[in-house]
Amino acid sequence: IMKEKSVSIHFKTVAVETAIMLGAFAVCTGICCLLDYFEVNNLNFLIIYVLGILLTAVFTKGYVYSALLSLLSVCGYNFFFTTPRYTFLFQDQSYLITFFLMLVVGISISTITYQLKHKMGQINALNMERVKLKSEAEKEQLKAMLLRSISHDLRTPLTTLGRYERGANMPDLAFIINVCTIFDVSPEWLLFGRGVMREQSKEYPSSGCGCRQCPLVLKELDEERTERRELSVENRQLYA
């Protein structure tokens, strides 16, 4: 299926580029016929055909179609605009030089345009690769900044965080509790991916002893955690 699709695309491309070449020849010949009607010197027609060759080289892939148009333009010029008209014969032998130069110029334009398009394609590919590398470098820079910020908040060296990230070492319980406290996340969510990441509302349960001080102490601890998170945000902004 992929092979048939590739053949279909190739056939469509060949048909389109052939149509461009024939269309350019028809338009150039039509313009030359119009100028010939007004008795313009037919040597000026060569410039129009050269322009058609250049446009064909720009809008088609490779240089085959523009080179074929060069040959077709020589034949068309000979057939329509040299005496005797509407034959491939010519009376003036100097036309041989004209035909030869026209063919050489057309093929040269085709080759040069193809090389320029090829170079532009290489430049565009290099620019895309440069943008990709720059994007990856920016991602790495942002990652390093984030790790430095987390390292500062957790009071943990970057080397230790790097070992945790690579899986070389496993974080201890104190580190996990510190992460959950500072970033206000659930240990169950952090370790196992279950439950909610953050609780929307918190209740302050009684310790069962019946005293009034336990809920107050729990509330103070929660306020202290909130203050620590705010300080952590300020520190990140300060060291950013």
Mean pLDDT calculated for residue range 23-30: 95
Q: How many whole angstroms separate alpha carbon 139 and alpha carbon 204?
A: 42
Q: Count of residues for the chain?
A: 240
- Residue for token pair 């149509």: 19
Q: Which residue has the higher pLDDT, 3 or 34?
A: 34
Kindly report the average pLDDT of the chain as a whole number. 80
Determine the pLDDT at residue 209.
45
- Residue 80's pLDDT band, with cuts at 50, 70 and 90, is very high
Give CA–CA dist 14/214, Å, rounded: 84
Distance CA 174, CA 177 (A): 5
Asked whether the beta carbons of 239 and 152 are under 8 A apart, the reply is yes
pLDDT at position 226 is 73
The Cβ of residue 28 has, within 10 Å, a number of other Cβ atoms equal to 25
Torsion of CA 164, 168, 172, 174, to 10 degrees: -30
pLDDT over 80 at 31, yes or no: yes
Which residues have C-beta within 8 Å of that of residue 77, sequence separation ≥ 6? Answer: 32, 42, 45, 46, 49, 99, 102
Q: What is the pLDDT of residue 208?
A: 46
Q: What is the mean pLDDT of residues 207-220?
A: 50
Whether residue 32 is predicted with pLDDT greater than 90 in this model: the reply is yes
Tell how far CA 53 is from the center of its chain: 31
Query: Left if phi > 0, otherwise alpha if psi is -120 to 50, otherwise beta: which for 199?
Result: beta
pLDDT at site 53: 92
As given in the structure block, the two tokens for residue 81 are 């605009």
Distance CA 179, CA 161 (A): 12
Which range has the worst mean pLDDT, 90-94, 177-181, 201-205?
201-205
For range 200-228, the mean pLDDT: 54
Query: Which pLDDT value is given to residue 134?
Result: 85
Give CA separation, 167 vs 159, 160, 161, 170, 171, in Å. 12, 11, 10, 7, 9
* CA nearest neighbour of 45 among 20, 65, 37: 37
- Helix/strand/coil for 80: helix
Is pLDDT larger for residue 207 or for residue 10?
10
Please give the residue that has the higher pLDDT: either 143 or 56. 56
Q: Token pair 């959950």 is at which residue?
A: 180
- Asked if residues 106 and 50 have their Cβ atoms less than 8 Å apart, the reply is yes
pLDDT value at residue 206: 44
Please state, for a pLDDT cut of 90, what percent of the chain lies above it: 20
- Whether 181 has a pLDDT exceeding 50, the answer reads yes
- E strand intervals along the chain: none
Distance (Å, whole) CA 25 – CA 23: 5
Could you tell me which residue, 209 or 2, shows the higher pLDDT? 2
| Secondary-structure breakdown of the chain: helix, strand, coil percentages, each rounded to the nearest 5 | 75, 0, 25
Q: What whole-number percentage of the chain has pLDDT above 70?
A: 82
